[in-house]
Amino acid sequence: MTVGGLKDLSGRYISDDEVDELLDSACRQHGIPLEDDVRIASKQLSRYAKDVVTRARIAEGVSLLISSAGTKINSIDVKQTEEGFQAVVDIKVEDA
C-alpha cells in the first residue's frame, strides 16, 4: 500500500488531521517518508502503528487513544458518579 492510499482509506474513518498526526509521529519515530507514492508493506505498517498508537480502556465501552509516540499514560483513576463515571488521566509528554 502507498502512503497516499493509506491516507485515502484512513480518511473514511478519521479526520485528515488525525491521519497526518499519526503519519508524522511514525515518520519521527521510524524515519519513514511521507510522500504519497511511497510504498509501505502491511507488516511494517502494523509495527509502526503499534509503536505510535496507545489505547487505554477507561470504562466499559470507553477508551482513550494516544497517537503521539512521545506521550505515555502514567495512570488512570476512574470513579463512579451518579450520571456515569469520572476519569482523571495522568499523561507524560516527552519533549520533541
Number of domains in the chain: 2
pTM, two decimal places: 0.51
Which 3 state secondary structure label does DSSP give 14?
coil
**Higher-confidence position of 40 and 82:** 82
Better-scored residue on pLDDT, 86 or 26: 86
Domain that residue 18 falls in: 1-52
Residues 45 and 62 in one domain: no
Co-location of 18 and 1 in the same domain = yes
Mean pLDDT for the stretch of residues 83-90:
93
Q: How far apart are CA 22 and CA 85, in angstroms?
A: 29
**pLDDT at position 25, please?**
77
Confidence of residue 7 (pLDDT cuts 50, 70, 90): confident
**Are residues 62 and 43 part of one domain?**
no
Task: State residue 22 phi and psi, 5-degree precision.
Answer: -65, -45
Span 16-66, pLDDT tens digits: 888 887 778 777 777 777 788 888 777 777 777 776 678 888 988 898 888
Residues 44 and 73 in one domain: no
Residue 65 pLDDT: 84
CA angle 88, 89, 91 (to 5 degrees): 150
Residue 48 and residue 70 share a domain: no
What's the pLDDT at 96? 52
Judgement on whether residues 3 and 33 belong to the same structural domain of the protein: yes
Distance CA 77, CA 90 (A): 8
Same domain? For 93 and 74 the reply is: yes
Specify the pLDDT at position 89: 93
